[in-house]
Structure 1
Amino acid sequence: MTTTPFRPFETTLDEAAALRLLRQATEGAEDGELFLERRSSEALVFDDGRLKTSSFDAAQGFGLRAVNGEVSGYAHSSDISEAAIARAVQTTRLAVANGGGTLAEAPQHTNRKLYTDADPIGGVSFPVKIETLRDIDAFARDMDSRVVQVSAMLAASHQEVVILRPDGNRITDVRPMTRVNVSVIVEQNGRRESGSAGGGGRIGLDGLLDPADWQGKAREALRIALVNLDAVPAPAGPMEVVLGPGWPGILLHEAVGHGLEGDFNRKGTSKFAGQIGQQVASRGVTVIDDGTIPDRRGSITIDDEGTPSGKNTLIEDGILVGYMQDRQNARLMGVDSTGNGRRESYAHAPMPRMTNTYMSGGDSAPSDLVASLKDGIYAVGFGGGQVDITNGKFVFSCTEAYRVENGKIGAPVKGATLIGDGATAMMQIKGLGNDMALDPGMGNCGKAGQWVPVGVGQPTVLMDGLTVGGSAA
């Protein structure tokens, strides 16, 4: 191998030296890699009529890993140098010192390109970014005299990844990310309510800074805030619920998606452990995790172990057919990696994580599903939630929901929460709309202290037997 530096990383480390050290670290191991990363990020927040914060961050470093069975040794540093990697080798060797494993085959290669490699931070000048945020603020205030506060946020990042494997394979990826978010607060008769909208993806900033895009976000934020001005206290008790398309898929992501990640199932801590081939959802329900959708927030050309991302069916027609896997858990479970090995940064070891997780659409008209409700809730927007992975129990708060009686959508309700458990809820799906949609690109997923960008989606969904927590019986 020729001696070349790891460009574009600012380091004197050459590839031959890095490979030599990596092979020392993984001698007798079943797997391992040297993960190098350089990342830059920028965020601007325009709040209360002025630029409130402007931040820029740049970081780079490496993570060195050796895996033997269920044990892995991991060390990382922001110093990409031969000396730093040599010190890391001593740590990783602790996990495989007595190993007699055979090195697993390297991931397959891909020439697929799912997103641009252009740096979105430098693609638009700083003055243009500030002026756009100022325009968003003015536009939102001019839309309605009841608007008393506006907050607009613009964020962009650029991540460059190099993964070196002990067999000499070198895999690279360049990942952009952008997002614009608008929040408004309205006041009427002494009552204040808020609304927000936003989104983005692995795209440049140009499209998001086009007035045709951000004006739509501002209008949506205002619409939600005005809806909440008229909201009445939410009912409480068991009832049927219709979930709207798109972002409400966050409930599926949290209540079911995490339970389908390989590590939880290998360890037997997931509600879905050992249920491959069994019915875990109503007939007609298909759940897919797809990291291959171009330009989407949750998409990855390769995962953080170098495996190409995939379109993986997890539940098909109600039957559990697979889990999301990284290389270690896949090997221990006797299956192939699904391209779901992800990490927050070079300072974190990879684990099975979702990408874009969604429920496929059905054949019902959404209006018919709502009309079927005798006494229930139509929930189209969600905020935060809590989930217990071991039993799938969840609590989600609604940011936009309506009371439905005798098939008629009534007043918006405030303070509604949906309570249930994922496994039971999946078996209580009674209808799927023909309007499957992905979210606008605003999801982040946390697991074991690591955060990664994700996408969610679903059609309009009719569910029976959820408990609605509210403020009125």
Structure 2
Amino acid sequence: MTDPRSFLYRDTLDPDNALRVTADVLAKADDGELFLQYRRAEAFGFDDGRLKTASYDTNAGFGLRAVSGEMTAFAHANELSEAAIRRAGETMALIDPSGATRAAPPARTNHRLYTDADPLDLIPFADKVNLCQTIDAAARARDPRVAQVSVSLSGTWSVVEVVRPDGFVATDVRPLVRLNVSIVAEANGRRETGTFGIGGRYLYDRLFEPATWNRAIDEALAQALVNLESVAAPAGEMTVLLGPGWPGVLLHEAIGHGLEGDFNRKGTSAFSGRIGEQVAARGLTVVDDGAIADRRGSLTIDDEGTPTRETILIEDGFLKGYMQDRLNARLMGVEPTGNGRRESYAHAPMPRMTNTFMKGGQDDPAELLSRVKKGIFAKSFGGGQVDIVSGKFVFSCTEAYLIEDGRLGAPIKGATLIGDGPSVLTRVQGIGNDMALDEGIGVCGKGGQSVPAGVGQPTLLVGGLTVGGTAAG
């Protein structure tokens, strides 16, 4: 196998040059790094029974950052050469030294959470197209009500290296694959959609297993057929039972961003200055863990070179800590948590979530359902909007059901959940023993940057959530 670093060091740049130039241009800084990246990506879109799109691209470049106090200087280029790095270093010279002690380098790690292998090279182009075609045909054969099938398959392979002026160097090789199936079912003049996606930091072979792609078809079709039977959603304040796994996206958005270090250092989060306070119902524990093998949101090291780990954010209802990059951790007098992330070499790092989830509790999910006299069960979510400062959110349900006298009733369409993260945490009335992580499709946006992320939770009983619907409550 070709050394992955050879994609970073070619032409005029070699590892010794990179170390020397980084030490030169960041000599005045308290902290900072040279971030090198090579990335290749491909995507296939199969729609209406034929291949509609196929794309492939590669890019490479560096980001150079100097930090002094609260000030950051950042420059980037899509040229991996010593000359280009020195030109970028002219920007670094504009910051004034703070006089503070230079920040210590990150700890080193030998753990590896995923393979170095490149998923794109291991399976021929024709086989990837054939998989999409096979899924399309199998989905159409499942049920006569299937009117349309869309299949997308994508993969990326990225090599990154963090080079610091103190001589610290850390390399990470990151695979990522994803399969999505969307099915439109039609009956009696009505059309409804169901979707399912799966992925992670592994190779395509997992997605090519018949058990995997058949499950994707079954789940997408089941959701579409359920939605064909759906009735208008009620509106008003009611008890909501959230399913395990992907509904953790509500937790991610409604409170996760509010627990990132930058918002708390600046005092703009609803959780600012509340370490040690009870912020949630007892029994509720939320963590961010970037060190779970093969997960979409996992990283062996973050984009500053810090090893990832489990960070306890809320424990038994009490706020324990925030997710930190190096800059905010230093200014807040705490340790970095391995949450310094960037979309690419062209972006500066900031505190970001990896895999953020609520741990399981003691309650039987069936017993939680039996407690609900009248409410809704939200099994899956689509898009949502959140105000990070207040934690206010609006989420649309893609699969949800009425609950009447402790039993699931008719599926409902058009339900939205409205509330704010901090108060939702205090309204949790039951925590299931069935914690599940999502299937590996999450994308998180912040400050104009998108990164892969994971979510998860157990079945959760929440009292008094506002449901926006299309029928009177």
Same fold at TM > 0.5? yes
Identify the range of structure 1 (25-34 vs 136-145) with the bigger mean alpha-carbon deviation: 25-34
Alignment of 1:449-464 (within 5 A): 449-464=448-463
Percentage of identical aligned residues? 61
Corresponding position of 1:73: 73
Contact 2:324 2:337 in 1 (8 A): yes
Corresponding position of 2:34: 34
Q: Secondary structure at the match of 1:295?
A: coil
Contact 1:6 1:14 in 2 (8 A): no
Matches of 1:257 and 1:414, distance apart in 2:
27
- TM-score, normalised to structure 1's length? 0.98
Contact 2:231 2:410 in 1 (8 A): yes
Contact 1:6 1:13 in 2 (8 A): no
Alignment of 1:130-279 (within 5 A): 130-279=129-278
Deviation digits for residues 326-361 of structure 1, max 9, x if unmatched?
000000000000000000000000000000000011
Contact 1:28 1:100 in 2 (8 A): no
Structure 1 counterpart of 2:146, which letter?
Answer: V
Cα drift, residue 317 of structure 1 = 0.1
Corresponding position of 2:290: 291
Matches of 2:39 and 2:14, distance apart in 1:
20
Deviation digits for residues 41-73 of structure 1, max 9, x if unmatched?
000011000000000010000000000111100
Corresponding position of 1:468: 467
Q: Give structure 2 stretches of 5+ with no counterpart.
A: none
Corresponding position of 1:103: 102
Contact 2:27 2:165 in 1 (8 A): no
Contact 1:242 1:460 in 2 (8 A): yes
Matches of 2:91 and 2:164, distance apart in 1:
18
Cα drift, residue 98 of structure 1 = 4.2
Corresponding position of 1:390: 389
Deviation digits for residues 380-427 of structure 1, max 9, x if unmatched?
000000000000000000000001111121000000000000000000
Matches of 1:246 and 1:16, distance apart in 2:
46
Contact 2:278 2:317 in 1 (8 A): yes
Identify the range of structure 1 (335-344 vs 402-411) with the bigger mean alpha-carbon deviation: 402-411
Q: Secondary structure at the match of 2:58?
A: strand
Corresponding position of 2:352: 353
Structure 2 counterpart of 1:53, which letter?
Answer: T
Structure 1 counterpart of 2:32, which letter?
Answer: G
Contact 1:28 1:103 in 2 (8 A): no
Matches of 1:432 and 1:99, distance apart in 2:
48
Deviation digits for residues 214-237 of structure 1, max 9, x if unmatched?
010001000000000000000000
Contact 2:68 2:96 in 1 (8 A): no
Cα drift, residue 167 of structure 1 = 1.0
Corresponding position of 2:90: 90
Contact 1:29 1:101 in 2 (8 A): no
Corresponding position of 2:11: 11
Cα drift, residue 6 of structure 1 = 5.7
Q: Secondary structure at the match of 2:234?
A: coil
Deviation digits for residues 238-289 of structure 1, max 9, x if unmatched?
0000000000000000000000000000000000000000000000000010
Cα drift, residue 455 of structure 1 = 0.4
Structure 2 counterpart of 1:424, which letter?
Answer: S
Matches of 2:130 and 2:61, distance apart in 1:
34
Matches of 1:211 and 1:14, distance apart in 2:
44
Matches of 2:231 and 2:6, distance apart in 1:
59
Corresponding position of 1:414: 413
Identify the range of structure 1 (206-215 vs 99-108) with the bigger mean alpha-carbon deviation: 99-108
1:369 aligns with 2:368: yes
Contact 2:149 2:181 in 1 (8 A): yes
Structure 1 counterpart of 2:51, which letter?
Answer: L
Structure 1 counterpart of 2:266, which letter?
Answer: K
Matches of 1:115 and 1:298, distance apart in 2:
12
Contact 2:30 2:97 in 1 (8 A): no
Cα drift, residue 465 of structure 1 = 1.0
Deviation digits for residues 410-464 of structure 1, max 9, x if unmatched?
0000000000000000000000011000000000000000000000000000001
Contact 1:29 1:100 in 2 (8 A): no
Matches of 1:440 and 1:124, distance apart in 2:
22
Contact 1:364 1:434 in 2 (8 A): yes
Q: Secondary structure at the match of 2:385?
A: strand
Q: Give structure 1 stretches of 5+ with no counterpart.
A: none
1:342 aligns with 2:306: no
Contact 1:185 1:194 in 2 (8 A): yes
Contact 2:379 2:399 in 1 (8 A): yes
Corresponding position of 1:282: 281
Contact 2:288 2:354 in 1 (8 A): yes
Identify the range of structure 1 (13-22 vs 308-317) with the bigger mean alpha-carbon deviation: 13-22
Structure 1 counterpart of 2:76, which letter?
Answer: H
Matches of 2:278 and 2:32, distance apart in 1:
36
Cα drift, residue 24 of structure 1 = 2.8
Q: Secondary structure at the match of 2:214?
A: helix
Cα drift, residue 123 of structure 1 = 1.2
Cα drift, residue 22 of structure 1 = 1.6
Cα drift, residue 374 of structure 1 = 1.1
Matches of 2:242 and 2:98, distance apart in 1:
51
Identify the range of structure 1 (123-132 vs 36-45) with the bigger mean alpha-carbon deviation: 123-132
- TM-score, normalised to structure 2's length? 0.98
Structure 2 counterpart of 1:32, which letter?
Answer: G
Deviation digits for residues 141-164 of structure 1, max 9, x if unmatched?
000001010001100000000110
Matches of 1:357 and 1:249, distance apart in 2:
8
Matches of 1:97 and 1:358, distance apart in 2:
40
Matches of 1:436 and 1:397, distance apart in 2:
22
Contact 1:305 1:350 in 2 (8 A): yes
Q: Secondary structure at the match of 1:324?
A: coil
Root mean square deviation, CA, Å: 1.0
Structure 1 counterpart of 2:464, which letter?
Answer: G
Cα drift, residue 82 of structure 1 = 1.3
Corresponding position of 1:311: 310
Contact 2:113 2:294 in 1 (8 A): yes
Structure 2 counterpart of 1:388, which letter?
Answer: D
Identify the range of structure 1 (239-248 vs 84-93) with the bigger mean alpha-carbon deviation: 84-93
Q: Secondary structure at the match of 1:85?
A: helix
